Amino acid sequence: MAAALLEMRNIDKVFPGVRALSNVDFTLHAGEIHSLMGENGAGKSTLVKVLTGVYPKDGGTIHLNGREISPKTPKEAQEEGISTVYQEVNLCPNLTVAENIFIGREPRRFGFIDWKEVNRRSVELLQKLDVDIDVNKTLDNYPVAIQQMVAIARAVDVDAKILILDEPTSSLNEGETARLFKIVRQLQKQGMGIIFISHFLEQIYELCDHITILRNGELVGSYEVAKLPRLELIARMVGKDLNDVKDMDKMAEKSVPSEEVFIETDHAASIGQIKDVSLQIHKGEVIGFAGLLGSGRTETAEMLFGLKDVTGGQLKINGKAEKLANPMAAMKDGIAFCPEDRKLAGIIGDLTVRENIILALQAMDGMFTHIPYSEQVKLADQFIEKLRIKVSDRDQLIKNLSGGNQQKVIIARWLATHPQFLILDEPTRGIDVGTKTEIQKMAVELAKTEGMSVAFISSEMDEMVRTCSKLIVMRDRRKVAELTGEQVSSDGVMQAIAGGDN
């Protein structure tokens, strides 16, 4: 085998109170697509950040093409030829596409930026990726998928030897993903080493040659994809026996809703957001809102939480007509909402886990009261244990947790308010397989044991099919179908999305 392009040996990284990486080895060859796998908090992101100079390493060596490097800033890493496209698009939405691609390294002419050259090369780069857009429009004009492509165009142009893709497909649909894969393979042929991080197993098996597994900051092993069956991969990731995993994969039985309706809408509409939605959500029911991105499923959830006005039709809670003017009104009626965008609308990063957990309950109690500290500690500890949130202590800042654990804290925040209706919008996005299953199970458990109504919104169809006892299918901001019982299947949803008005 040819000499390795990248060799990381005995990498250590310690954060206050946590050993994030210990003695991790990682080898990448030129022309290889290598996946980094592990549960949330296993150390994937940390390893990538050490490689790209975001975090200084505490021990170990990194060799690139046989030469030792130790990048101290992302810029240094880039100059060494290591480019990264992060999970959340790290571009400036208010700059044009061309500016985004060349920001910080604009081609110059007589000391001034050569805009003609910038535009010409931007178009050229994007055409290579099969993207044909106006590069003079600001980035926020384009959907996330295009933004992702722009990020990749930027990364690829800097003469990269290594390209790191951190969850690049989490906001892409199937067509876009396929296009991305085509590009990645093309780059692979050019001899680039590619590190691909994703939670989608299918994609990894489709695309990658090699898998390196991490668990709790330690190396589990490095394998050829062809020789590692999926179940074994999951078993190694969670550190369990194969048989345990098989059990884990079987979903507990679905919840059986009661006759009582908690919330219902009758031809509800919200100007510019929702055209026509009629639904009934029963107590003890897990209902799914299915549909493509932009179909109005998130907007429906937001309407039920008082974030969007009901401008037409009716909304009833427990049989009484209600107008939810703001989130607090919805909360008072026992509704809770875990938003889709965890970072933007969920966590309050600089507050502690404890403060984040009690926040909604405190908001309901009002500004001029105060939950006693001892009570806060009790609540926080109770949920940290119950939801198995991985924290060093309850007063750790939430921004330092992994995505899955942040999500659990947000869920804990709402469970603390004892809701009757819990809305989970994309609760499993960007979260590892183990935690995903935990959250799905929890949704069903809550409906079963506490008679809670749960709305489950997800882009992953099989996840909803497994969890929900009823599915509302949305298209073009209207409800187009309602599936129950046997109809709740991927096939049923597809047909409803595709197949006219039935």
Partner 1 sequence: MEKLKNFTSSSLFLPVVALAVLLVFNGIFVEGFFDIQVTEDGRLFGRVIDILTRSSSLVILSLGMTLVIATSGIDISVGAVVAISAAVVCTLIGGRGDGVAETPMLLAMLASVGIGILCGLWNGLLVAKFKIQAVVATLILMTAGRGVAQLLTEGQIITVYYKPFASIAGVIPGMPLPTNVFIALAMVAFVAIVMKKTSIGLFIQSVGINPTAAKYVGINVTMVLFLVYAFSGFCAGVTGLIESSLIRAADANNAGLNMEMDAILAVALGGTLLSGGKFYLGGSVIGAITIQTLTTTLYALGVSADQLPVVKAVAVIAICLIQSRKARDLFEKWKNRGNGAAAAGAKAVNKA
> Which residues are at the interface with partner 1 (CB under 8 A)?
307, 326-328, 331, 337, 339, 344-351, 355, 359-360, 362-365, 367-371, 413
When the beta carbons of 18 and 468 are compared against partner 1, the nearer one is 18
Minimum separation from the CB atom of position 365 to partner 1 (A): 8
Minimum separation from the CB atom of position 329 to partner 1 (A): 9
Question: Which strands make up the sheet holding 312-317, listed edge to edge?
Answer: 320-321, 312-317, 261-270, 274-282, 478-484, 470-475, 286-290, 453-457, 421-425, 335-338
- Mutual orientation of helices 144-157 and 115-128 as an angle, nearest 10°? 110
How many C-beta atoms lie closer than 10 Å to residue 501's C-beta? 8
Minimum separation from the CB atom of position 352 to partner 1 (A): 10
> How many Cα atoms occupy the beta-carbon half-sphere of 267 within 13 Å?
2
When the beta carbons of 112 and 368 are compared against partner 1, the nearer one is 368
Minimum separation from the CB atom of position 368 to partner 1 (A): 5
Minimum separation from the CB atom of position 356 to partner 1 (A): 9
Cα separation, 303 vs 264, whole angstroms: 12
Using an 8 Å Cβ cutoff, are 452 and 444 in contact? Answer: no
Segments of 227-273 assigned E as strands:
261-270
When the beta carbons of 225 and 397 are compared against partner 1, the nearer one is 397
Minimum separation from the CB atom of position 253 to partner 1 (A): 32
When the beta carbons of 311 and 326 are compared against partner 1, the nearer one is 326
Strands 312-317 and 261-270: antiparallel
When the beta carbons of 110 and 373 are compared against partner 1, the nearer one is 373
Minimum separation from the CB atom of position 320 to partner 1 (A): 21
* Measured CA distances, 489 to 282, 442, 461, 468, 485 (Å): 20, 20, 8, 10, 9
Q: What is the dihedral of CA 326, 455, 443, 466, to 10 degrees?
A: -160
Minimum separation from the CB atom of position 409 to partner 1 (A): 12
Cα separation, 406 vs 479, whole angstroms: 31
User: What are the backbone angles phi and psi of residue 407, rounded to the nearest 5°?
Assistant: -60, -40
When the beta carbons of 339 and 427 are compared against partner 1, the nearer one is 339
Please state whether 495 falls in left (phi above 0), alpha (psi between -120 and 50) or beta: alpha
When the beta carbons of 92 and 345 are compared against partner 1, the nearer one is 345
When the beta carbons of 14 and 371 are compared against partner 1, the nearer one is 371
